């Protein structure tokens, strides 16, 4: 922590000078999560918090689609992303043309797009979802067939939870979660039978089937805080366990995790630089933003 302290102090000073708040995703490193964040959460929580920000500036410690979502929901604010290269394999996997292709293949089916998409894709969708509300959003659609984009694994996991719907999906995947295999989890359980295994729903369905619980990043945190298992394996990004392990010393966080190379582009140095220079403001074309806001707001309204 000694090495981080000067950055943390400088960032917290600049936050006050610039009237800025830092919204940080659960995958941020501990020095960001504990040192400078004003709000931490999963994608849905951060989107809802963005609507409530009264400060002039939002610094989004997360990936680009999260900063765009904040800008869409609170357009009067300056939204800074400390590294514009902080992308997402899911957001990169689909374009508005892909949405049009799915609509042509399944006429009349509503398009439910994961928030891990660009503003243009959100604008072309009927409603958004996150990992914490996907099953609820899909179940709320009147149509029997629902298009889910772009995460095929989230769609397949939701299909199990909402058997009354025919769900069709785009062929996207998260490069972090697709790397876990069911065999990894079975092996791990055979060596450590008392371990509680908790998987994010971006994992393939056969991986989720091996887990004791599946939920959004905040759902995973809530679960371990509530259940307090002696040993827990978080089948997700590595910073999750790093961020909560100090507050839960009785839990032994075990097993492999995977690093998100995009989330890890956000560092204290880059946060300091963006607040110092005010560079890296996210802009969304107003017409696209208006359409995208409808899709995101429908999701928020249905999640209340
Ligand atoms: P959550 O909404 O669960 O935080 O997921 C966001 C994400 O990018 C996970 O990979
Ligand atoms: Fe995208 Fe996966 Fe990284 Fe989340 S963990 S930002 S879904 S690549």
Please indicate whether residue 131, judged by its CB atom, sits closer than 6 Å to ligand 1.
yes
Q: What is the ipTM of this complex?
A: 0.98
Shared domain for 121 and 187, answered yes or no, is no
Q: Which of 151, 152, 174, 202 to mutate to test the pocket of ligand 2 (most atoms within 8 A of CB)?
A: 174
Q: How far is ligand 1, taken at its centre, from the CA of residue 175, in Å?
A: 12
Binned at pLDDT 50, 70 and 90, residue 228 comes out as very high
Shared domain for 156 and 102, answered yes or no, is yes
Instruction: Report yes or no on 36 lying in a domain.
Output: yes
The torsion angles phi and psi of 283, rounded to 5 degrees, stand at: -120, 140
Q: What is the DSSP string of 44-94?
A: HHHHHHHHH--SSEEEEES-HHHHHHHHHHSTTSEEE-S-TT---HHHHT-
Q: How far is ligand 2, taken at its centre, from the CA of residue 28, in Å?
A: 12
Q: How far is ligand 1, taken at its centre, from the CA of residue 170, in Å?
A: 18
Residue whose token pair is 């607040």: 275
Cβ atoms of 165 and 127 within 8 Å: the answer is no
- Give 275's contacts (C-beta < 8 A, 6+ positions apart): 11, 14, 15, 18, 20, 57, 59, 80
Instruction: Report yes or no on 279 lying in a domain.
Output: yes
Shared domain for 216 and 201, answered yes or no, is yes
N-terminal to C-terminal alpha carbon distance within the chain: 38
Mean residue pLDDT of the chain comes to 97
108: left (phi over 0), alpha (psi -120 to 50) or beta: left
Element (H, E) at 197: strand 196-199
| CA–CA gap between residue 155 and residue 148 (Å, rounded) | 6
Shared domain for 9 and 83, answered yes or no, is yes
Residues at the annotated binding site for [4Fe-4S] cluster? 88, 174, 260
Shared domain for 121 and 61, answered yes or no, is no
Residues at the annotated binding site for iminosuccinate? 25, 43, 114-116, 131, 200-202, 217
CA distances from 117 to 43, 182, 247 (A): 12, 27, 33
Binned at pLDDT 50, 70 and 90, residue 74 comes out as very high
Binned at pLDDT 50, 70 and 90, residue 2 comes out as confident
Asked if residue 59 has pLDDT above 80, the reply is yes
Shared domain for 59 and 95, answered yes or no, is no
Closest ligand to Cα 131 = 1
The torsion angles phi and psi of 29, rounded to 5 degrees, stand at: -70, 155
Say what the pLDDT of residue 304 is: 74
Say what the pLDDT of residue 145 is: 98
Binned at pLDDT 50, 70 and 90, residue 1 comes out as confident
Q: Nearest-CA neighbor of 14 among 264, 265, 271, 267?
A: 271
Please indicate whether residue 175, judged by its CB atom, sits closer than 6 Å to ligand 2.
yes
pTM for the structure as a whole: 0.97
Let me know how many helices (H) and strands (E) the chain has, helices first: 15, 12
The torsion angles phi and psi of 237, rounded to 5 degrees, stand at: -75, 145
Minimum CA distance residue for ligand 2 atom 8: 88
Asked if residue 138 has pLDDT above 90, the reply is yes
Instruction: Report yes or no on 177 lying in a domain.
Output: no
Distance of CA 112 to the CA centre of its chain: 16
Shared domain for 60 and 191, answered yes or no, is no
Q: How far is ligand 2, taken at its centre, from the CA of residue 261, in Å?
A: 8
Q: Nearest-CA neighbor of 296 among 176, 122, 83?
A: 122
Say what the pLDDT of residue 285 is: 98
| CA–CA gap between residue 132 and residue 200 (Å, rounded) | 10
Please indicate whether residue 88, judged by its CB atom, sits closer than 6 Å to ligand 2.
yes
Shared domain for 157 and 98, answered yes or no, is yes
Cβ atoms of 98 and 149 within 8 Å: the answer is yes
Q: Which ligand 2 atom is at minimum distance from the Cα of 262?
A: 3
Average pLDDT (276-297) is 97
Please indicate whether residue 202, judged by its CB atom, sits closer than 6 Å to ligand 1.
yes
Asked if residue 269 has pLDDT above 80, the reply is yes
Cross-strand partners of 150: none
Please indicate whether residue 42, judged by its CB atom, sits closer than 6 Å to ligand 1.
yes
Q: How many domains does the chain have?
A: 3
| CA–CA gap between residue 202 and residue 237 (Å, rounded) | 11
Binned at pLDDT 50, 70 and 90, residue 134 comes out as very high
Q: How far is ligand 2, taken at its centre, from the CA of residue 88, in Å?
A: 5
Shared domain for 155 and 299, answered yes or no, is yes
Asked if residue 71 has pLDDT above 90, the reply is yes
Shared domain for 83 and 94, answered yes or no, is no
* Domain enclosing residue 115, as ranges: 90-172+287-303
Tell me what percent of the chain is helix, strand and coil, each rounded to the nearest 5: 45, 15, 40
Q: Which two tokens stand for residue 83?
A: 């590294």
Shared domain for 157 and 298, answered yes or no, is yes
Shared domain for 103 and 157, answered yes or no, is yes
Please indicate whether residue 116, judged by its CB atom, sits closer than 6 Å to ligand 2.
yes
CATH number at residue 123: 3.40.50.10800
Instruction: Report yes or no on 249 lying in a domain.
Output: yes
């Amino acid at each position: 922590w000694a090495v981080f302290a000067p950055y943390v102090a400088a960032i917290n000073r600049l936050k006050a000078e610039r009237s800025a708040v830092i919204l940080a995703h659960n995958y941020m490193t501990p020095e960001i999560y504990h040192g400078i964040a004003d709000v931490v959460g999963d994608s849905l929580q951060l989107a809802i918090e963005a609507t409530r920000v009264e400060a002039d500036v939002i610094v989004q410690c997360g990936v680009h689609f999260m900063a765009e979502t904040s800008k869409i929901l609170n357009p009067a604010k300056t939204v800074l992303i400390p590294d514009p290269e902080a992308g997402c394999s899911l957001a990169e996997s689909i374009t508005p043309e892909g949405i049009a292709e799915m609509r042509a293949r399944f006429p009349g089916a509503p398009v439910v797009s994961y928030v891990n998409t660009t503003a243009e894709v959100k604008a072309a969708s009927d409603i958004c979802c996150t990992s914490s509300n996907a099953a609820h959003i899909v179940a709320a659609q009147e149509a029997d067939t629902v298009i889910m984009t772009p995460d095929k694994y989230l769609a397949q996991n939701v299909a199990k939870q909402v058997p009354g719907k025919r769900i069709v999906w785009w062929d996207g995947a998260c490069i972090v979660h697709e790397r876990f295999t069911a065999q990894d989890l079975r092996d791990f359980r055979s060596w450590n039978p008392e371990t509680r295994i908790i998987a994010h729903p971006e994992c393939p369905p056969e991986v989720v089937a091996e887990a004791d619980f599946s939920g959004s990043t905040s759902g995973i945190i809530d679960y371990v805080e509530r259940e307090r298992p002696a040993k827990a394996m978080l089948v997700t990004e590595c910073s999750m366990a790093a961020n909560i392990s100090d507050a839960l010393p009785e839990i032994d966080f075990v097993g492999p995790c995977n690093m998100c190379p995009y989330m890890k582009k956000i560092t204290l140095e880059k946060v300091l630089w963006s607040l110092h220079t005010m560079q890296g403001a996210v802009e969304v074309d107003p017409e696209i933003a208006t359409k995208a806001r409808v899709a995101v707001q429908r999701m928020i309204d249905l999640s209340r």
